[in-house]
Structure 1
Amino acid sequence: MKVVSGEQMRSIETRLFDQYGFSSAVLMELAGRQVALVAREMMEGLSGPVVVVCGKGNNGGDGLVAARWLRHWGFRVSAVVWASFDDLPPDAAGALHAARMAGVTILMPAQAQEALQGAALIIDAVLGTGSVGSARGQAAEAIKLINAARRPVLAVDMPSGIGTNTGRVDGPAVRADVTVTFGLPKLGLFLFPGADLAGRVIVVDIGLDEKAIEAENIQVELTRAEIARAWLRTYSRDAHKGTRGRVFVAAGSRGMTGAGALAGEAALRVGAGLVTVAAPESSQPVIAALRPEFMTLALPGSAAGGFSARAAELFLQAAARADALAVGPGLGTDPEAQLFTRAVVADATAPLVLDADAIKAFSGCPELLAECPMPLVITPHPGEMAHLLGLSVEVVQADRFAAVRRAAEVTKAIVLLKGAYTLIAEPGGEVYINPTGSRVLGTGGSGDVLTGVIAGLLAQGLGAPEAAAAGAFLHGLAGDRIAQRMGEDGVLASEIAAELPAAQRDLRAGLPDVIEFRG
C-alpha cells in the first residue's frame, strides 16, 4: 500500500479532477460517507449525540457530509462550525447547507464546550492534510476543547494538529481513538509523536484511480501481510536442511556471548537449514553450550576478548559454502574487531547482514560499505545511524525518512532503521514502512534476533530488500503475538525468537493487515 505526503495526495486529486472528470464535491461526498460508516460502528453500544467539530476548510466539509449521513441514519447529530458561512470554500459551504437541511443542529463556537462534554462521540474535522505548521487561533481552541471533553474521538484524514508529512506536534493536537484516512495513508501517521495520537488507522476507498496514483511515482510503501507472505519461500515435502540455506554468524565476544546465541537461534527459528556461529576462541565453548541446534566455530581472538583482525580470512574460508552471513551481535568495538568487520565486508562471499558493533566500524566513513561485493543489509538503531552519518540522534529522529534514504544512497545497501514503524530503504529511494511490533521489541537482544531473522531469510533465497522487509514484519509479528498473550513488559529476546515459527505459520495462513483497508 502506497503512503503519501499531503502534496502527493493533492496532486493525485488534481489529476482526478483534470484528467478523469471527478469533482471535489464528489470526493467530499465519498469521504464523508466513509467517515459516517466508521462513526456508526463506533456508536454501537453508546447513547447520546455525535458532535462534529468542523474547521473552515474542506476537512470540515468532509465532517459535515458525515454529519448529514449520520442524521439520515437516525442519530442525534450536531456540528460546531468554526467559521462563518462566507468564509467556507464552495464545497464545504454546500455541505453545511445540506447538513442543515437534513436536520443536523449547527452550533456556534461559543456552544462547543457544552456540546462536547455531552457527546457520545466526537468527530474531529478541524484541520486537514493541507494545513501547515502548528494549530493556531480558533483551530487551536477547538482542539483543546476536543481533548478536554475526554470522549471517544474519530479523526477525519489526520488528527488535527499533527504534521501530515512529519508527524510533528508543535502545538495542541487531537488525541484520536480512530483515524479514518482517505485513499492512501499519510506519512505523518507513521512518524512520532503524531503516530501515537492517531489511534487505530483505517484507510478507506474514495475512488482514486490507479493510473492517477501510479503517475505520482510514490516511493513509500506500507508492508502489507499479503506482500510479506508472498516473499516467503515455499518448500516441497522432501525439503531438508541442505535445501533451506546455510547461515554463518560472526558474533559473541567475551561478555556478550548471548548475542551470538540469539542471532543463531533466530536464523534457525525462521527456517534456515544449517547455522554456524563463529566466535572468539574464548567465547566459543560458552555459545556452544547455550544452543545445541547450531554449530560453532572458534576463531582467533584479540586481547580484549573480541575477534582478531586475522580471523576474517579464516571466517570467510569456513563460510565459503554459506548462503548468508551475519556480523555484529556482541562483536565488540575494540580496534581488532573493527578491522575484522571491514575485512569481511570487503571480501564477503554471500549476502551479508551487519548490525550493532559491526555498523560502528564504519562510523564517519559509510561510503566504505558501498565496496561490499555482495548484497548488504545494515540494521542500525537511531544512535548507530547517527554515528554512521555523523549526525545527532535528534536530527535522525526528526526526519527518519531523510536519514534512512541518505544512508542507503551513501552505502548502496539496504538500510533498516529500527524503531516504532521501522523503515527499510533501498539505494534508489524506495522505502518500506513496517507496521508490526510494539514496545515488546525494546528489550536487550531483540536486535540480535532481527539480525538472525534477516540472515535466515537471505539464506533461503530472498533478495536483500525482501529479506529486510519480511524480517522486520515477522520480528514485529512475533512481538505482537507475545504482547497479546503476556503483555508488553518484561518479555525476553529469547521468547521473541521462540515465537517466530508461530508468527510465520500465521503469516502463511493469512492475516488481516495491521492497518485496516476498506474498499
Structure 2
Amino acid sequence: MANNNLPTRLYRAKQVRELDRVAIEEQGIPGFTLMRRAAKAAFTILLAQYPEPEKLTIFCGTGNNGGDGYAMASLARQRGLEVALIQCGDAGKISGDALQARQHALQDGVEVTDFSADLVIEQGVIIDALLGTGLSGDVRGVSAEAIGLINSLDLPVLAVDIPSGLCSDAGRVLGNALYADHTVSFIGLKQGLLTGAGPDYTGALHFHDLSVPETVFQQVASSSERLDLPQLLAQLPARQASAHKGHFGHVMVTGGDSGMAGAAAMASQAACRVGAGLISCATRPEHIPAIIARSPEVMAHGVISGQEIEPLLAAASVVVVGPGLGQGAWGEQLLQKVAELTVPLVVDADALNLLAAGRVIKNRQRDNWILTPHPGEAARLLGCSTAEVQQDRFAAAAELQRRYGGAVILKGAGTLVADDENSQVGLCPYGNPGMATGGMGDVLSGVLGALLAQGFSPAQAARLGVCLHATAGDRAAVQGQRGMMATDLLPHLRTLINQLA
C-alpha cells in the first residue's frame, strides 16, 4: 500500500549524485552538513518507530553511507543510548565527509568494533549503513557476511538511504541484500526502492529532502515518476445532466475460450463498474448463459469464428482482446479480426503471446493501443528472458513502448507505465501481494477499456487505470490479503471512481 507522503519525482543513483553536487558546489551546502542532516532525519524516524531502543547496533561501511551511520552513532551517544558500531571493511579507506563523521563519533565516545562473523547481537535495533547507491557489482566479502548475519537476526532493522545490496536504479538484488523493516531515503527518492524486488527489502519507506532548496531539483531532471491517483482522477470530467449511454463508449470484450469464460466475464464486469456506456462480450456460445446470469448488463454474443465477430466489432468504440482468448485457432481468428480495426485496443494475456509469436498481427506497432504484459509476456515480446526483464524493469518498459507504440503497462510489484505522451516512465505505488491471484489482470483490462471508451488517451487510461485497479486492491485487502479474489475489487472500483473524481 502506498505512502502518499513520498515525492512524485524518482531518480537513478547518477542523478542523486548530481543533486548532491549541485547542492554542495552551487548552493554552498557543505557535504558534511548534508551528512549530518541525513543522520538526524534517520535518527528522528528511528525514535518515532522505536521510542525506547534497548541498544543500537550500527553497521558501517567505508563510504558515505557509513558516514551517515557514524553521524547517527554520535546522535545516539548524545542522547544517552547504548550504541555499538560495527566497522565493516578497512577503516583506513574512509575519507572525506565520512572520515569527519567517524572522527566526531570517536570524540563522542562511540566504541567501534571490527566486524566478526561470530558477532552476537541479542537485543535492540540494527542500523544498516553498509552500502549505498554507489554499489555496482554483487556484494562480496565482509559486506556479504554482515548482510547474512543481520538477516539471520530476529531484530528490527532500519536501512540508511537504501537496503544494502539492493540496486537503487532497478530494484534488483546485487548478489545478496538486506531485509529492512524501515528505509529512510534522502534528497532524491530512488526508483529501485519501489519496483521489482525493492518492496521486499525496503519495508516501510520514508523520505527526507534534507532541506535542499527547490532550485536544486529544478536543475536535475528525474528519471521516472511516482503516480498519484487523486491527481489522475482530476482529469475525469463531470457528467452532464443530459448525458446518455452513447456518450461513454461501447467496450467489446473478446475472449473466453473453453475453460476460461471467467476471464471475459470479469473484464466485462470491470468495464461496467468503471463507467463504460455499453459493454458487449464476444465469447464461446456455451458461455453465454453464465455471463448473462452474472451480469445481465453485458450484451453477450456467442461466436465460433472470426467471420461471425465482424459485425459485432463494427459497433464497438473500444475492444479489449485477450482475457481467456487462448492461443488456438479460435483465438487467432478473433484476434486477426480485432487487429484490422482502427479503434483503440487493450491487448492482454494470450493476445500478447500471439502478438509476440508474430503469426496473427502483422502491424506490430500502433499508437492507440494499451499492452498489459506481466514479466513473462514482456520477455516474449522482447525476445529475452524474464530474468532480463526484471534486471531493469524501467528499461524493459521503455523498450516495449519503443517497439510497439501506444502505452505499455509492465505489471508486477511497482507496476510501470511507458507511453508516448510522457517523457518519464510512471510507477504505480499502490497494490499489495493479495492481488497475486488469477483474474486480476482481466479486471485491469476491463478498467482500461472503460477509460478508453470514456475518451481517455491510451497514456491517460493506462496511468489512471493501473492506479485505480491497485487502489481497489488495497481497499479489498483491508479484510485480509490471503483469499482475495479479483471480483473483490469490483465494488471498490465504482466507489473510487466516484468518490475521488
Instruction: Identify whether the pair has TM-score above 0.5, normalized to the shorter chain.
Output: yes
Question: Partner of 2:454 in structure 1?
Answer: 460
Spell out, residue by residue over 1:190-211, the C-alpha distance to the aligned partner (whole angstroms, 9 max, x if none). Answer: 3443431111111221234444
Point out the more displaced range, 276-285 or 440-449: 276-285
Letter in 1 for 2:95: P
Alignment counterpart, residue 75 of structure 2, candidates 69, 72, 89: 69
Could you tell me how far apart the structure 2 residues matched to 1:360 and 1:17 are?
50
Query: Take 1:274 and 1:265, find their aligned partners in 2: how far apart are those partners?
Result: 11
2:182 corresponds to: 178
CA distance in 1, matches of 2:368, 2:214: 32
Instruction: Mark the CA change 1:47 to 1:39 in structure 2 (over 3 Å): closer, same or farther.
Output: closer
Given that 1:178 and 1:200 are in contact with CA atoms closer than 8 Å, whether structure 2 keeps it comes out as: yes
Residues in 1 aligned to 2:117 and 2:238: alpha-carbon distance in whole angstroms: 58
User: Residue 109 and residue 258 in structure 1: after superposition, are their counterparts in 2 closer, same or farther (change >3 A)?
Assistant: same
Q: Which residue of 1 aligns with 2:355?
A: 362
The verdict on how the C-alpha distance between 1:27 and 1:359 changes in structure 2, with shifts beyond 3 A counting, is same
| The one of 82, 87, 99 aligned to 2:88 | 82
Q: CA RMSD in A?
A: 2.7
Q: CA deviation at 1:507?
A: 4.7
Deviation at 1:309, TM superposition (A): 2.4
Stretches of structure 1 that go unaligned for 5 or more consecutive residues are: 302-307, 509-519
Give the TM-score of the pair, scaled to structure 2: 0.89
Contact 2:115-2:142 at 8 Å conserved across structures: no
Residues 430-449 of structure 1, C-alpha deviations (whole Å, 9 max, x = no match): 31111222222222211110
1:413 aligns with 2:406: yes
Distance 1:84 1:419 in 2: 39
Change (3 A) 1:503 1:117: farther
1:405-426 per-position Cα deviation (integer Å, ceiling 9, x unaligned): 2211111121111222211112
- Equivalent positions of 1:368-379 (< 5 A) are 368-372=362-366, 375-379=368-372
Aligned to 2:202: 198
How many Å separate the matches in 1 of 2:241 and 2:434? Answer: 35
Query: What is the alpha-carbon distance in structure 2 between the residues aligned to residue 14 and residue 110 of structure 1?
Result: 32
1:149 maps to 2:153: yes
C-alpha distance 309-202 of structure 1, shift in aligned 2 (>3 A): same
2:36 matches 1:39: no
Q: Measure how far apart 1:328 and its partner are.
A: 1.5
Q: 1:87 to 1:393 in 2, by over 3 A?
A: closer
Cα distance change, pair 290–203 in 1 and its aligned pair in 2 (3 A): same
The more displaced of 273-282 and 229-238 is 229-238
Match of 2:311 in 1: 314
Unaligned runs of 5+ in 2: 1-7
The whole-number CA distance in structure 2 between the counterparts of 1:140 and 1:154 is 17
The DSSP-based 3-state class of the residue aligned with 1:247 is: strand
Q: 104, 109, 112: which one pairs with 1:107?
A: 112
Sort the Cα spacing of 1:227 and 1:99 in 2 relative to 1 into closer, same or farther, 3 A.
farther
Rate the CA distance shift 1:496–1:469 in 2: closer, same or farther, 3 A. Answer: same
Report the count of equivalent residues: 492
1:497 corresponds in structure 2 to: 490
- Indicate conservation of the 8 Å contact 2:89/2:143, yes or no: no
Cα deviation, 1:155-189, whole Å, max 9, x if unaligned, reads: 00111122222333343422110011112222331
8 Å Cα contact 1:369/1:413 also seen in 2: no
Deviation at 1:53, TM superposition (A): 1.5
Secondary structure, aligned partner of 1:462: coil
Which residue type is aligned with residue 6 of structure 1? A
Q: Counterpart amino acid of 2:292?
A: A
Distance 1:178 1:409 in 2: 36
TM-score (norm 1): 0.86
Q: Is the 8 A contact 1:231 1:470 kept in 2?
A: no
Task: Report the Cα distance in structure 2 between the residues aligned to 1:371 and 1:423, rounded to whole angstroms.
Answer: 19
Aligned residue for 1:341? 335
2: distance between equivalents of 1:264 and 1:59?
51
Could you list the structure 1 runs, at least 4 aligned residues long, displaced by more than 6 angstroms after superposition.
none
How far, CA to CA, are the matches of 2:385 and 2:116 in structure 1?
A: 47
Within a 5 Å distance, the mapping from 1:207-218 to structure 2 comes to: 207-218=211-222
Code of the aligned partner of 2:424: E
1:136–1:359 Cα change, 3 Å:
closer
Partner deviation per Cα, 1:8-45 (whole Å, 9 max, x = no partner) = 2112222333333233222212211110111111222x
Contact kept, 8 Å, 1:143 with 1:174, in 2: the verdict is yes
| Cα shift readout 1:308-355 (whole Å, capped 9, x = no counterpart) | 222453133222xx3x32112122322353243233233223x22111
**Structure-1 separation of matches of 2:399 and 2:336:** 21
Distance 1:82 1:286, change over 3 A: closer
* 1:134 maps to which of 138, 162, 172: 138
Q: Is the 8 A contact 2:255 2:331 kept in 1?
A: no
Q: Secondary structure of 2:306's partner?
A: coil
Range moving further from structure 2, 425-434 or 442-451:
425-434
| Mapped pair 1:290 → 2:294 | yes
| Alpha-carbon distance in 2 for matches of 1:395, 1:173 | 19
